Amino acid sequence: MNDYIVRATAAGNQLRAFAAYTKQTVEDARRAHNTSPVATAALGRLLTAGAMMGSMMKNDSDVLTIQIKSDGPIKGLVVTADSKGDVKGYVNNPEVMLPPSKAGKLDVGGALGHGVMHVIKDMGLKEPYVGQTVLQTGEIAEDLTYYFATSEQVPSSVGLGVLMEKDNTVKQAGGFIIQVMPFVEDEVLDKLEENIGKLPPVTSMLEKGFTPENMLETIFEGMDVEFNDTLPTKFYCNCTKERVEKAIISVGEKEIRSMIEEGKPVEVNCHFCNTNYTFSVDELKEILKKCKK
Ligand SMILES: [Zn+2]
């Protein structure tokens, strides 16, 4: 199964939903950043949520960023997604190792600790939308549920899961976001709560071979789910040497001059995909000329 997001509604548009399968996306992120298992789980959960939240935006140029700053050993993570299913991200400390949680799971909450989450939506307006919340558990799904309720005033249920193989590659990854519309009837809400109450963890459903559609069918059992469309999702970074060159120009003439005086090639790293771009002294001299224009 290739990675994709499905968009759906249920109970005659009283509920809307997104579900995703993201195994390859998370594995590609793991490989790019060489993340430890708990860092892979944290990043994978946020990438999965980011991909779905990105798909909620309308325009091709809209960009969503979720930024977590925390005091735990992972120190924080950043995910950026567009509306077309492309998502990228990184963790500040990819090597973090922790003993399993009491439930025997990867201790994502322990890795994150206390902190704040910013959700930034750049939709081409003068000012981007910024929502800020305090981390509730650091497990990411609960933190996003809290974010939707308090910052966007949309009651939601978020489920995210990443399961690792014994060799520390990604075995399963996926998740869902269910959102309740303001005109929802009480019976619909009661039925949804009942269904979610008995829902197995996302990783258990994926292990059973559930597709994103199957997950939503289970969540919306007896509630007339309607699938609207699907879109592929992937770990993708749009960095290029030209873009990095622009970033160098922005540090200013003085800084570039001192790089040239060092007499050595300069390596610039893209945080999002961990690609290194090397600029020779001659290339730096060319860049300096562009600064003066
Ligand atoms: Zn990149």
- Taking only the tens place, the pLDDT of each residue in 50-87 is 999 999 999 999 999 999 999 999 999 999 999 999 99
- CA 183 to ligand 1 centroid distance, Å: 42
Residue 134: strand pairing partners: 116
- CA 273 to ligand 1 centroid distance, Å: 4
Query: In this structure, what DSSP letter does residue 138 have?
Result: S
CA 239 to centroid of chain Cα atoms: 18
Q: What is the CATH number of the domain that holds 279?
A: 3.90.1280.10
- CA 5 to ligand 1 centroid distance, Å: 23
Its domain, for residue 176, covers 4-235
- CA 237 to ligand 1 centroid distance, Å: 5
> Which pLDDT belongs to residue 82?
97
> Which pLDDT belongs to residue 148?
97
- CA 255 to ligand 1 centroid distance, Å: 22
Picking from 235, 260, 282, the residue at the C-terminal end of a domain is: 235
15-21 and 170-180 as β-strands: parallel, antiparallel, unpaired?
antiparallel
Protein residues placing their CB within 5 Å of the ion ligand 1: 237, 239, 270, 272-273
Instruction: Identify the three-state secondary structure at position 131.
Output: strand
Q: Are residues 282 and 229 in the same domain?
A: no
Q: Are residues 266 and 252 in the same domain?
A: yes
Nearest to 182 by CA among 152, 145, 159: 152
Q: Tokens in use for 199?
A: 């829902």
> Which pLDDT belongs to residue 114?
97
- CA 32 to ligand 1 centroid distance, Å: 10
Q: Are residues 228 and 245 in the same domain?
A: no
Q: Are residues 153 and 248 in the same domain?
A: no
> Which pLDDT belongs to residue 242?
93
Picking from 213, 235, 257, the residue at the C-terminal end of a domain is: 235
Alpha-carbon separation of residue 27 from 69, 115, 152, 162, 268 (angstroms): 23, 26, 31, 10, 24
Cα–Cα distance, 57 to 62 (Å, whole number): 7
Q: Are residues 275 and 155 in the same domain?
A: no
- CA 178 to ligand 1 centroid distance, Å: 31
> Which pLDDT belongs to residue 280?
95
Q: Are residues 132 and 218 in the same domain?
A: yes
Residues with Cβ within 8 Å of residue 273, at least 6 apart in sequence: 32, 88, 235, 237, 239
Cα–Cα distance, 11 to 87 (Å, whole number): 30
Residue 142 exposure: Cα atoms within 13 Å on the Cβ side = 9
- For the whole model, what pTM was predicted? 0.95
Q: Are residues 74 and 171 in the same domain?
A: yes
- CA 253 to ligand 1 centroid distance, Å: 24
Cα–Cα distance, 119 to 12 (Å, whole number): 29
- CA 160 to ligand 1 centroid distance, Å: 25
Residues of the chain with pLDDT under 70: 292-293
State the alpha helices, DSSP H only, in the chain: 23-33, 37-54, 108-112, 141-150, 186-197, 202-207, 212-219, 241-251, 253-262, 281-292
Convert 65-95 to b/e letters by CB count within 10 Å (16 or more is b). Answer: bbbbebebbbbbbbbbbbbbbbbbbbbbbbe
Q: Are residues 40 and 161 in the same domain?
A: yes
Q: What is the CATH number of the domain that holds 175?
A: 3.55.30.10
- CA 28 to ligand 1 centroid distance, Å: 13
Cβ contact 31:96 at 8 Å: no
Query: In this structure, what DSSP letter does residue 273 have?
Result: T
Q: Are residues 192 and 256 in the same domain?
A: no
Place of tokens 């800020």: 132
The per-residue pLDDT for range 142-185, each reduced to its tens digit, is: 999 999 999 999 999 999 999 999 999 999 999 999 999 999 99
Residue 221: strand pairing partners: none
Cα–Cα distance, 159 to 174 (Å, whole number): 8
- CA 191 to ligand 1 centroid distance, Å: 44
Place of tokens 């003066």: 292
| Tally of domains within the chain | 2
Q: Are residues 266 and 204 in the same domain?
A: no
Nearest to 181 by CA among 17, 19, 16: 16
> Which pLDDT belongs to residue 293?
60
Q: Tokens in use for 125?
A: 């307006």
Q: Could you give the angle at which helices 37-54 and 141-150 cross, rounded to 10 degrees? A: 30
- CA 234 to ligand 1 centroid distance, Å: 14
Picking from 235, 252, 280, the residue at the C-terminal end of a domain is: 235
Q: Are residues 196 and 105 in the same domain?
A: yes
Q: Are residues 199 and 268 in the same domain?
A: no
